[in-house]
């Protein structure tokens, strides 16, 4: 059995010989994901305090390309987002590259031009780091594959991409796969790891195969607290120990509900996780409110609609005010009618992104020579 450590992928031999001429271009499209079991609390180098479980989206994507060539004076990069420099992203990118130089030592010989864009509005408050960082990690693995003829087996390729993405942003580790994905060591779950995510390996009931996610964007989307700071709040949290136990129990019950098609249990756990995340934030020291009055108003409406119609619709939240409204594809017509008339119609600063479970990242081939 291979034992993974934080330095498993360090490889000092991955360097270009002095004489070589090197240049190329790689590009990937990678999705955002929404967690059903939340990662909240970390330790060491981006290791999770509890297992998390998510699904990757179909339409909310980052597209990232890297043009690379030999550098005269060590590692250099230029990052453009929607064609412009984005100084706000640079601290996160700088520490990401610092972290991964021992994994990709050939970067010390390269100059990169990274161009990225999102298919969803960045200002929407939707986490773009998972899609953006995962696309970047996939590009770096593609350079290794192309230039060093390594990572030929897809399992090796995606595992390394997930490991690398994790070092940039925990939830990004999950975005390198499509469908349902777990990240974090789980007792008796073969292959599960704190170091990288895995595509959930077992069969899931058909009712969840085309799970819909309509994202209700509330307000301007400015984050009041970065997720790294949010994770930090768990360090001395009064409820930390109880939370990590709760997450493990919820994880097991969630996969059981998914496997058996138990929508009632699914709804119960999804909403419990979302509300627990925000309850943890409110009970941190200091406490934060990331939800808005409209978030609560809409939660109420979703629950009333569910009760009155028996349609299995529920909500989840990430670290912000936006609601992800989840429902099976067979109820799409009624739920979209409800969302348009009850949540969107009367609210000027509310908009929606219609998304659903997706199949994962794709490499953009031959977009540039
Ligand atoms: C609430 O992955 O954004 O969305 O590792 O510090 O980059 P960093 O945090 P990040 O945290 C995500 C938190 C969450 C829950 C989740 O996606 O599991």
Considering only CA atoms, which of 59, 158, 46 is closest in space to residue 95?
46
The Cα 109–Cα 112 span in angstroms is: 10
190 confidence band (pLDDT: 50, 70, 90): confident
Which tens digit of pLDDT belongs to each residue from 144-181? 999 999 999 999 999 999 999 999 999 999 999 999 99
pLDDT at residue number 19: 77
Q: What is the percent of the chain with per-residue pLDDT over 70, rounded to a whole number?
A: 95
Q: Output the furthest CA–CA distance in the chain (Å, rounded).
A: 72
The Cα 37–Cα 167 span in angstroms is: 20
Considering only CA atoms, which of 292, 283, 179 is closest in space to residue 237?
283
Q: What is the mean pLDDT of the chain?
A: 93
The Cα 150–Cα 189 span in angstroms is: 28
**Dihedral through CA 324, CA 326, CA 330, CA 334, nearest 10?**
-60
Residue 125 has pLDDT above 70, yes or no: no
pLDDT at residue number 348: 72
Considering only CA atoms, which of 81, 83, 102, 82 is closest in space to residue 92?
81
The Cα 6–Cα 46 span in angstroms is: 10
Ligand 1 pocket (Cβ < 6 Å) reads: 35, 38-40, 46, 52, 127, 129, 169-171, 227-228, 231, 277, 318-319
pLDDT at residue number 120: 82
225 confidence band (pLDDT: 50, 70, 90): confident
pLDDT at residue number 259: 98
Atom of ligand 1 minimally distant from the CA of 171: 2
DSSP alpha helix (H) spans, 261-310: 263-282, 293-309
Beta-strand relationship, 323-327 and 362-363: unpaired
pLDDT at residue number 260: 98
Q: Atom 4 in ligand 1: which residue has the minimum CA distance?
A: 318
Which tens digit of pLDDT belongs to each residue from 126-150? 666 899 999 999 999 999 999 999 9
pLDDT at residue number 122: 61
Atom of ligand 1 minimally distant from the CA of 39: 18
pLDDT at residue number 219: 77
Best residue among 42, 47, 227 to mutate for probing ligand 1's pocket (most ligand atoms within 8 Å of CB) is 227
């Amino acid at each position: 059995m291979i034992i993974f450590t934080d330095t498993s992928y360090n490889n000092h031999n991955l360097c270009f010989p002095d004489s070589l001429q090197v240049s190329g271009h790689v590009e990937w499209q990678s999705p955002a994901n929404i967690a059903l079991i939340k990662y909240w609390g970390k330790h060491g180098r981006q290791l999770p305090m509890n297992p998390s479980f998510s699904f990757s989206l179909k339409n909310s994507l980052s597209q990232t390309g890297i043009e690379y060539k030999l550098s005269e004076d060590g590692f250099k990069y230029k990052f453009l987002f929607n064609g412009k420099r984005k100084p706000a992203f640079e601290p996160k990118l700088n520490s990401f590259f610092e972290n991964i130089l021992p994994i990709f030592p050939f970067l010390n010989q390269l100059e990169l031009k990274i161009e990225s864009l999102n298919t969803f509005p960045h200002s929407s408050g939707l986490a773009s780091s998972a899609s953006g960082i995962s696309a970047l990690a996939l590009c770096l693995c593609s350079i290794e594959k192309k230039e060093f003829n390594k990572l030929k087996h897809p399992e090796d390729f995606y595992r390394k991409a997930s490991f690398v993405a994790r070092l940039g942003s925990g939830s990004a580790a999950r975005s390198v796969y499509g469908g349902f994905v777990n990240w974090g060591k789980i007792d008796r779950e073969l292959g599960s790891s704190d170091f990288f995510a895995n595509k959930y390996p077992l069969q899931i009931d058909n009712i969840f195969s085309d799970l819909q996610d309509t994202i209700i964007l509330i307000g301007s989307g400015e984050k009041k607290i970065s997720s790294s700071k949010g994770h930090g709040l768990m360090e001395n949290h009064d409820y930390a120990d109880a939370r990590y136990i709760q997450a493990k129990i919820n994880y097991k019950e969630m996969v059981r509900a998914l496997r058996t098609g138990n929508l009632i249990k699914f709804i119960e756990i999804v909403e419990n996780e979302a509300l627990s995340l925000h309850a943890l934030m409110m009970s941190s020291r200091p406490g934060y409110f990331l939800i808005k009055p409209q978030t609560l108003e809409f939660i109420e409406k979703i629950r009333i609609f569910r009760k009155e119609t028996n349609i299995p619709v529920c909500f989840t939240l990430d670290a912000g005010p936006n609601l992800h409204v989840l429902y099976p594809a067979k109820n799409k017509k009624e739920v979209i009618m409800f969302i348009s008339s009850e949540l969107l119609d009367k609210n000027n600063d509310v908009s929606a992104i219609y998304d659903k479970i997706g199949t994962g990242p794709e490499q953009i081939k031959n977009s540039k020579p």
